[in-house]
Amino acid sequence: MQKPAFDIASPRTKTTLRRRAVIATARELGLLGGENGRIGGRVRRQLVAAAKKKSGIASDTELLEYALAKVALEDDFGTKLVRRKGRISQDLDLEL
């Protein structure tokens, strides 16, 4: 049996879909509009190579844009949940 050309369960496909979703969300929120800026810095080659391999991104600019979008869109649900500890009444019926 021949494997389909687009395997949604493959790690590579999941990475690509995740990357596209991050960029699409950043674009929808207006984070990718307007004029381009310039940033500079020294980054370890091994780190860049590993990030490019993992993300499937070849361009330094696209990699930086993706990484910054991930940070800007980062979900802090876990932190907020932990902060709520002890704030819900013990006698609340959760129907469990």
What is the mean pLDDT of the segment spanning 10-32? Answer: 89
Residue 24 belongs to some domain of the structure: yes
Structure-token pair, residue 65: 């844009």
pLDDT above 70 covers what percent of the chain? Answer: 89
Q: Is residue 28 part of a domain?
A: yes
Within a domain: 22 = yes
> Is residue 86 in a domain?
no
42 pLDDT higher than 90: yes
Domain count, the chain: 1
Q: Please indicate, yes or no, if residue 19 is contained in any of the structural domains.
A: yes
Please give the structure tokens belonging to residue 53: 């391999």
Element (H, E) at 54: helix 45-55
Mean per-residue pLDDT, 22-45: 93
* Domain assignment present for 85: no
Q: Provide, rounded to the nearest whole percent, the portion of the chain with pLDDT above 90.
A: 56
- Given a contact cutoff of 8 angstroms between Cβ atoms, the answer to whether 17 and 7 are in contact is no
* pLDDT over 90 at 59, yes or no: yes
**pLDDT at residue 92 is higher than 70:** yes
User: Model-level pTM greater than 0.75?
Assistant: no
Asked if the structure places residue 87 within a domain, the reply is no
Residues counted in the chain: 96
In a domain, 89, yes or no: no
Long-range residue pairs from 13-20, CB within 8 A, at least 24 positions apart, any chain: 15/54, 15/55, 15/56, 16/56, 19/55, 19/56, 19/57, 19/66
Q: Which domain holds residue 16?
A: 11-33+40-72
